[in-house]
């Protein structure tokens, strides 16, 4: 199985997007998904034990080499320009979409109490959110959801990794009082 | 409600600098609640309303663009305040809902998402806290070696002008029996793309010879491209432009809808 691990490591190295176990299994003939998964796990462990400049991260349903925290200031210097950032309006809009998807623009505006057109446009342009369909009500309004890119940018394995909304439980309890 | 002194007017001066950092009326209200260390479940409406309105006045005096939403909440606060002043009819039995309940619910919900936004921002973000070897290219479904290139807005406008001139002579006058809306046309194109996966620019315009319809179709296409739902490609300048659906639309009921020709 040593060869398998070598090939997988190379594939992960050349890929510019997170590679899923399924995708790797498709590329490699006659290998079971569990063998691929086991080899990937070994690689993840090796890189994490090594504590080097890169590690193998599980993100957006796949695996991808990512840099170590400690190197960040120097990478930013090397790359030039400012680090990526999102405005408060964009973050709040994104949070509503992430937790409430599929969600209508009007629902987001209901929560935030402001017009979200500009924030939504920015998120669409950054490919963090997308149109996921239309609601089956008069006017068939457009529903929004998050993208795979969202998981990549926010370093999430999948949506279930998002923490539960803190105040929501409190909210529900409050409602039962009424 | 207690008669807490109102730090409003003079306090406002100190916070002028902060006015533009509020994300909206709910954010401002949450800020006032936190600043006064108020229990969110028992908001002294009278005091909060006065402080809130003092902030709006300060915003106005600074000529800041006061979004309509701020005024809507001011009206809501005043309405709640007046309801609070009405005597409660105990004898009517059924406990009347606290006039503040809906506002409290809204504030808690907004606060929850505000915290969720903070949580998101505290994660290790790509291109800020960690990096990958090569940035993913946006056109992932594009297999690098094909000469097909994405069409931008300017080429589309050119194509649109060609269509208009080509069909110019044949423009028919017709009585507009159905009024078409842009969002309706957007929906139709979405259905069409969902069904056929790809369309040429000409197919999209179909046998339209009505200038109004052509313009609507074109605007709808631009809208879809802006929303990143549709993408246009062509092999070379002046070649056929093909429109693709950029994302798979979810929801099964859509397919039936498309067949019935919405």
- Please check whether residue A101 touches B, CB under 8 A: no
B141 band by pLDDT with thresholds 50, 70 and 90 = very low
In chain A, the residue whose alpha carbon lies closest to the alpha carbon of B23 is A89
Residue contact B121–A91, C-beta within 8 A? yes
The pLDDT value given to residue A91: 96
Least confident of A58-72, B73-87, B130-144, B204-218: B130-144
Looking at domain A88-177, its CATH architecture is Orthogonal Bundle (1.10)
**pLDDT exceeds cutoff 70 at B33:** yes
Cβ of residue A125 closer than 8 Å to a chain B Cβ = yes
Note whether B2 and B44 are within 8 A (CB).
yes
% chain A with pLDDT above 90? 76
Least trusted range by pLDDT, from A20-24, A167-171, B38-42: A167-171
Instruction: Report the pLDDT value the prediction gives residue B64, as an integer from 0 to 100.
Output: 67
Cα–Cα distance between B162 and A143 in angstroms, integer?
Answer: 34
Contact A132 B129 (CB under 8 A): no
Domain A2-75 identical in fold to domain A88-177: yes
Tell me the pLDDT tens digit for each residue of B70-107: 889 999 999 999 988 887 666 555 566 788 999 999 99
Mean pLDDT along residues A4-27: 93
Q: How many CB atoms lie within 10 A of CB B251?
A: 15
Angle at B74 between CA B72 and CA B80, to 5 degrees: 105
Q: How confident is the model at residue B199 (pLDDT cuts 50, 70, 90)?
A: confident
How far is the C-alpha of A144 from the C-alpha of A142, rounded, in Å? 7
Mean pLDDT of A11-37: 92
Question: For a pLDDT cut of 90, what percent of chain B falls above it?
Answer: 26
Residue B159, min C-alpha distance to chain A (Å): 24
Contact B45, B100 (CB under 8 A): yes
Alpha-carbon distance of A134 to A140, in angstroms, equals 5
CA B82, CA B99: separation in Å to the nearest integer? 9
The residue-averaged pLDDT of B163-175 equals 62
Task: State whether CATH 3.40.50.620 applies to domain A2-75.
Answer: no
pLDDT-derived band at B256, boundaries 50, 70, 90: very low
- What is the Cα gyration radius of chain B? 28
ipTM score of the complex?
A: 0.87
Q: What is the mean pLDDT of residues B178-194?
A: 79
Residues 6+ apart with CB under 8 A from A155: A57, A59, A66, B123, B124, B125, B126, B130
Q: How confident is the model at residue A6 (pLDDT cuts 50, 70, 90)?
A: very high
Q: What average pLDDT does the segment B194-218 reach?
A: 78
Closest residue to B110, CB basis, from A111, A133, A152: A111
Rounded to whole angstroms, how far apart are CA atoms A104 and A118? 15
pLDDT > 90? residue A47: yes
| Domains annotated on chain B, with CATH | 8-121 (no CATH), 149-259 (1.10.10)
Test A153 with B254 for CB contact under 8 angstroms. no
**Rounded distance between C-alpha atoms, residue B78 and residue B16, angstroms:** 23
Q: Tell me which of B161 and B96 has the higher pLDDT.
A: B161
Q: What are the sequence ranges of the domains in chain A? A: 2-75, 88-177
Per CB-CB distance under 8 Å, the chain A contacts of B123 are: 154-156
CB half-sphere exposure, A101, CA atoms < 13 A = 20
Closest CA to B224 of B199, B187, B198: B187
B252 has a pLDDT exceeding 50: no
Higher pLDDT, B180 or B45: B45
Banded pLDDT at B16 (limits 50, 70, 90):
very low
Residue B15 predicted with pLDDT over 70: no
**Predicted pLDDT at B48:** 93
Most confidently modeled range among A18-27, B88-97, B129-138, B232-241: A18-27
Q: Is the pLDDT of residue A175 over 80?
A: no
**Given an 8 Å threshold on Cβ–Cβ distance, is A69 in contact with B130?**
yes
Segment B38-61 shows an average pLDDT of 89
């Amino acid at each position: 199985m040593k060869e398998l691990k070598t090939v997988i490591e190379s594939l992960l190295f050349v890929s510019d997007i997170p590679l899923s176990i399924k995708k790797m299994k498709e590329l490699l003939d006659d290998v079971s998904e569990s063998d691929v998964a086991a080899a990937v796990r070994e690689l993840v462990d090796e890189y994490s034990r090594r504590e080097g400049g890169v590690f193998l991260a599980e993100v957006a349903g796949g695996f991808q080499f990512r840099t170590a925290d400690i190197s960040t200031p120097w990478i930013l210097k090397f790359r030039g320009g400012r680090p990526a950032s999102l405005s408060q309006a964009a973050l709040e809009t994104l949070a509503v979409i992430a937790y409430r998807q599929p969600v209508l623009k009007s629902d987001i505006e209901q929560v935030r109490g402001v017009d979200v057109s500009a924030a939504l446009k920015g998120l669409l342009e950054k490919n963090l959110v997308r149109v996921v369909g239309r609601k089956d009500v008069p006017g068939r309004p457009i529903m929004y959801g998050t993208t795979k890119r969202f998981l990549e940018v926010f370093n999430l394995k999948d949506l279930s990794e998002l923490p539960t909304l803190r105040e929501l439980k409190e909210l529900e309890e409050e409602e039962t009082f009424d | 409600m207690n008669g807490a002194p109102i730090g409003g007017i003079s306090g406002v001066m100190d916070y002028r600098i902060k006015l533009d950092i509020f994300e909206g009326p709910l954010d401002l209200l949450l800020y006032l609640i936190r600043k006064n260390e108020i229990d969110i479940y028992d908001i002294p409406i009278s005091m909060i309303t006065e402080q809130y309105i003092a902030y709006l006045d300060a915003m106005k005096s600074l000529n800041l663009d006061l979004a309509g939403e701020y005024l809507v909440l001011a009206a809501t606060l005043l309405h709640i305040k007046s309801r609070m002043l009405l005597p409660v009819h105990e004898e009517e039995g059924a406990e009347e809902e606290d006039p503040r309940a809906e506002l409290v619910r809204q504030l808690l919900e907004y606060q929850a998402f505000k915290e969720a936004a903070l949580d998101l921002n505290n994660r290790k973000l790509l291109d800020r806290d960690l990096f990958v070897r090569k940035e993913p290219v946006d056109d992932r479904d594009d297999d690098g070696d094909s000469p097909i290139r994405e069409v931008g807005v300017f080429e589309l406008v050119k194509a649109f002008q060609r269509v208009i001139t080509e069909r110019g002579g044949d423009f028919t006058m017709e009585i507009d029996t159905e009024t078409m809306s842009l969002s309706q046309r957007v929906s139709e194109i979405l259905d069409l793309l969902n069904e056929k996966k790809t369309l040429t620019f000409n197919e999209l315009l179909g046998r339209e010879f009505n200038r109004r319809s052509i313009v609507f179709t074109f605007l709808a296409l631009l809208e879809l491209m802006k929303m990143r739902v549709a993408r246009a490609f062509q092999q070379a300048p002046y070649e056929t432009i093909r429109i693709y659906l950029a994302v798979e639309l979810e929801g099964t009921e859509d397919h039936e809808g498309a067949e019935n020709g919405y």
